[in-house]
Amino acid sequence: MRRRGRPVLGAISGLFFGLFLGLTLFMFRLYQSDSPVLLILPIVGLVLGIALGLWAPLRRGPQQQVTEVVDSH
Amino acid sequence: MRMGMRWRVAAGGAVAAAALVASSSPAGAVFTTNTVGCSGSAVITSPDGETYEGDARDVSVEVPREGVAAWEGSINPVTHNHFGEVNLAVGPLDVQLGKWGPSENADDEASSSGTKEIPTIMQYALPGEYVVSGFHQGDEGGCSGFVVVAVDVSPFSTPTGVGALVFTVLSGALMVGAGIAKAPKL
């Protein structure tokens, strides 16, 4: 069965992660306000979040999996 | 001298002074063109008495979030029918902070000075280095340049700074959570 995560959640959280990561890096003066990084990071976050949600490379914890298998019987 | 005219002359006289008036932050400037001898400087005094100085020839200058700025600017020769603007660079975009003119400058004013209190909103501005650019153009020539205004504060000492850090962690955790595979439907 094909695994699937949460692409919508990934898109939204990725967008905000990129935005706030950009602001954090700006605050630590890693670049100045005219840097395109401020706009690029939210876009990268959006794409990365969607990709993570579709690919779902992380597995659920073993306790949860066991519970689900037991419940299914 | 009328206040509006004084402001325009000061702004035309020095991109640095113009940036100061428009953004209420002191500034240093790098001129990319300067055919009319634009010059200017500013000194900000913070509430604890510390002074921060900026000159039109500086590349960047540290500034406090509170205080009063004393600025001055001049041009030589005097320009007429001049205009200009000051912009804050945000990524590839420019946000206009202020503009002046067109103005005839019939009084042939070449310099001005004044004081400006830093607005309260600056206390909530994110720390960092802000690039402010501007230009002044008249019949006799003009000048253009940019300034780097560095807000002098720790990222951990402001609500906006702490908020940005917290939301970075939270949104990052949510993004990782989105990558966890859902339980298969049996």
How do residues B9-39 score in pLDDT, each as one tens digit? 333 333 433 333 333 333 446 788 999 998 8
For A18-22, A51-55, A66-70, B114-118, which range has the lowest pLDDT when averaged over its residues?
A66-70
Write the CATH number for B72: 2.60.40
Q: Which span out of A9-13, B153-157, B160-164 was modeled with the highest average pLDDT?
A: A9-13
The per-residue pLDDT for B30 is 79
- Smallest Cβ–Cβ distance between B165 and the set A5, A24, A35 belongs to A24
Beta carbons of B37 and B79 less than 8 angstroms apart: no
ipTM greater than 0.95, yes or no?
no
Number of structural domains chain B divides into: 1
Give yes or no for B131 touching A (CB within 8 A).
Answer: yes
Instruction: Nearest chain B residue to A12 by CA: give it.
Output: B175
Contacts of A52 in chain B (CB under 8 A): 175-176, 178-179
The per-residue pLDDT for A70 is 54
| pLDDT of residue A44 exceeding 70 | yes
Range of the domain at B89: 3-153
Establish how many alpha carbons lie within 13 A of residue B172's alpha carbon, considering only the half-sphere containing its beta carbon: 12
How near does any CA of chain B get to the CA of A70, in Å? 12
Helix (H, G, I), strand (E, B) or coil at A37: helix
Contacts of A26 in chain B (CB under 8 A): 126, 128-129
Give me the torsion for CA of A62, A64, A67, A72, rounded to 10°: -110
How near does any CA of chain A get to the CA of B32, in Å? 16
Q: Which residue has the higher pLDDT, B185 or A21?
A: A21
Length of chain A equals 73
Would you say residue B170 lies in a domain?
Answer: no
Number of A to B CB contacts under 8 A, please give it: 122
CB atoms A48 and B131 under 8 Å: no
Q: What percent of chain A has pLDDT over 90?
A: 62
Provide the pLDDT confidence category of residue B185 given band limits of 50, 70 and 90.
low
Tell me the C-alpha distance between B116 and A63, whole Å.
63
Contacts of B92 in chain A (CB under 8 A): 34, 36, 39
CB atoms A13 and B148 under 8 Å: no
Contacts of B30 in chain A (CB under 8 A): none
Give me the torsion for CA of A26, A28, A31, A35, rounded to 10°: 0
Provide the pLDDT confidence category of residue A67 given band limits of 50, 70 and 90.
low
The per-residue pLDDT for B9 is 38
Mean pLDDT of chain B: 79
| pLDDT of residue B133 exceeding 90 | no
| pLDDT of residue A60 exceeding 50 | yes
**Domain segments of chain A as ranges:** 7-72
For A38-47, B59-68, B84-93, B129-138, which range has the lowest pLDDT when averaged over its residues?
B59-68
Q: What percent of chain B has pLDDT over 70?
A: 83
Provide the whole-model pTM: 0.73
Would you say residue B159 lies in a domain?
Answer: no
Q: Which residue has the higher pLDDT, B159 or A41?
A: A41
β-strands B82-90, B111-117 pairing = unpaired
